[in-house]
Structure 1
Amino acid sequence: MKKLLLTLTFVGVVLGAANLSAQDEDFYIFLCFGQSNMEGYPGIPESEKGPVDPRFQVLAAVDFPEMGREKGQWYTAVPPLSRPPAGLSPADYFGRALVAELPEDKKVGVINVAVGGTKIELFDETTREAYLADAPDWLHGIASAYDKDPYARLVEMGKLAQKDGVIKGILLHQGESNTGDQEWPAKVKTIYRNLLSDLDLQAEDVPLIAGEVVAADQNGKCASMNEIIRTLPETIPTAHVVSSEGCPDTEDDLHFSPEGYQMLGERYAKVMLDLLEESE
């Protein structure tokens, strides 16, 4: 019996070591979540479809039949990154900017799970069902891509990704549907804390980077929410806020234009690059 236990223990150690050795420490992975601006507003100019550096990868969180992508598999990060009907997002330019600045032995991967039009409550497992109970049919339609549980899908994909690389940060762009909600930072903290726990991550190793919504200088309809978003580091010490000032938007004054997404995504990348440099 003792021999059997020792053998099983040895096998477990060997398998564990093999699993660790399969993880690429030079593959930096980022979780991305939020609402429509993170999901990607429909419309991708031909010039933005590629070529994309193959060092920038996306883990498909849903099936993309038109693009030959299967959920749970890595692909070169050609937009859209979240789901088939979506468009460009800050995540596109975040990843492109990172691989352009990082050494050539580094790769970047993103997982984009976002639901257009949703409040932050959809990503909290304690409020999700009540929120969906009163949600309109169109939101149910979008959420169905993630079996109406986008948080669970983000965790599922995060665990898969951890077999290949290391989660280095979490990107958030959400707030339009929670405009004026003073409790928003606390709600974000709950989700951030849950992600860290469910993926066995440490806050000091995995910062949260949140972007502002369309700013007042672009006549953003939800620009007042930026005052609340800017307070996020007061609630989450490892949070950082990316300004949207000067980022062009579309005619609806809710979504950024491709130029705006590029500016915003590169600002996300600048924050992350600085943090990576500090951690070395």
Structure 2
Amino acid sequence: MLKILKLAGLFTFIVFSQQAMAQDPKMYIFLCFGQSNMEGNARYEAQDTTVDSRFQVLQAVDCPDRGRKKDTWYTAVPPLCRCNTGITPADYFGRTLIANLPKDVRVGVINVSVGGARVELFNQQTSAAYISTAPGWMKAMTAEYNDDPYGRLVELARIAQRSGVIKGILLHQGESNTGDTLWTAKIKVIYDRLMADLNLKPQQVPLLAGEVLGADQGGICAGMNKIINTLPLVIPNTYVIPSAGCSAAADKLHFDAAGYRMLGRRYGDKMLSLLGYKIPAHK
């Protein structure tokens, strides 16, 4: 019996050792989630399709027309969310990091976002009830994540952890929760759950939360920014990314392509500073 236990212990040690060896500490992983502005509402342009191969995306859904299979790494050519989404802050977040990190560092992003969704969609205790009353177009989106966006995010994150180290979380959500004074507490539930489910330490995994389209651009949900800016009071190691000056789409709800680029660079600048690197001067 003792011999069997020793062999079992040795096997476990070998398995964990192999996993540790497979994990590249210079592969920085970032989880992205939210609603349509993280999903990417604006069409990407030709300038957005040339991407350094050090910047990668872990495909969340099958996109046969693009030759992409879920659970597989690809160079992060947009779209980074689902098959027909647009440019997202994650695009220029990753580009900013790659341009300013050492050449032996790679960056990988995972983006699980659903346009129009309240934050309740990402809480497994409330998501099923939320989906049951959602409009058909939203149900079609959630179905691509097996009607469990949070679970899909975690599933992808665990795949990514075989390749690299999770260094941060990017959030852009709030338009559908405008005026919700419990929003920060709801985000904390999701963040804490991610830390537990992925065996992460909060002090090592900052949360970067972007403001919604600002009042300076006529943003119709701009009042939500007051609530978003209180998030660091509820979740330590949280940083709010300002949206002032990020240009708007005609609906005054979404950013346009240039706005997404600017916002993405701001996410990247903040992450660079947290990693101990100098913030670059952008043209």
Q: Is TM more than 0.5 here?
A: yes
RMSD: 1.0
Q: Which residue of 2 aligns with 1:178?
A: 177
| 1:206 Cα deviation after fit | 0.5
- Contact 2:246–2:262 (CA under 8 A) maintained in structure 1: yes
Tell me how far apart the structure 1 counterparts of residues 58 and 198 of structure 2 sit (CA, whole Å): 16
Tell me how far apart the structure 2 counterparts of residues 8 and 224 of structure 1 sit (CA, whole Å): 57
Amino acid at match of 1:28: Y
Q: How does 1:131-280 map to 2 (within 5 A)?
A: 131-277=130-276
Amino acid at match of 1:29: I
Tell me how far apart the structure 2 counterparts of residues 240 and 254 of structure 1 sit (CA, whole Å): 22
Tell me how far apart the structure 1 counterparts of residues 8 and 230 of structure 2 sit (CA, whole Å): 51
* Deviation readout 1:23-73 (Å, 9 max, x if unpaired): 0000000000000010111412122111x0000000001111111111101
Once superposed, which parts of structure 1, at least 4 consecutive aligned residues long, lie more than 6 Å away? none
SS in 1 for 2:150: helix
Tell me how far apart the structure 1 counterparts of residues 155 and 18 of structure 2 sit (CA, whole Å): 21
Amino acid at match of 1:99: I
Q: Which residue of 2 aligns with 1:16?
A: 16
Tell me how far apart the structure 2 counterparts of residues 123 and 249 of structure 1 sit (CA, whole Å): 26
Tell me how far apart the structure 2 counterparts of residues 182 and 43 of structure 1 sit (CA, whole Å): 32
- Contact 1:42–1:85 (CA under 8 A) maintained in structure 2: no
Tell me how far apart the structure 2 counterparts of residues 237 and 77 of structure 1 sit (CA, whole Å): 30
* Deviation readout 1:52-96 (Å, 9 max, x if unpaired): 000000000111111111110100000000101100000000000
| 1:18 Cα deviation after fit | 1.2
SS in 1 for 2:144: helix
Q: Which moved more, 1:22-31 or 1:125-134?
A: 125-134
Tell me how far apart the structure 1 counterparts of residues 215 and 73 of structure 2 sit (CA, whole Å): 38
Tell me how far apart the structure 2 counterparts of residues 11 and 132 of structure 1 sit (CA, whole Å): 43
Tell me how far apart the structure 2 counterparts of residues 135 and 82 of structure 1 sit (CA, whole Å): 20
> Number of residue pairs matched?
277
Matched, 1:29 2:1: no
SS in 2 for 1:272: helix
Gaps of 5+ in 2: 278-283
SS in 2 for 1:204: helix
Amino acid at match of 1:6: K
Q: Which residue of 1 aligns with 2:65?
A: 66
- Contact 2:42–2:255 (CA under 8 A) maintained in structure 1: no
TM-score (ref. length: structure 1)? 0.97
Give the fraction of aligned pairs with identical amino acids, expressed as a percent. Answer: 55
Tell me how far apart the structure 2 counterparts of residues 130 and 12 of structure 1 sit (CA, whole Å): 40
Amino acid at match of 2:117: T
| 1:7 Cα deviation after fit | 2.2
| 1:214 Cα deviation after fit | 0.5
Tell me how far apart the structure 2 counterparts of residues 181 and 131 of structure 1 sit (CA, whole Å): 16
Gaps of 5+ in 1: none
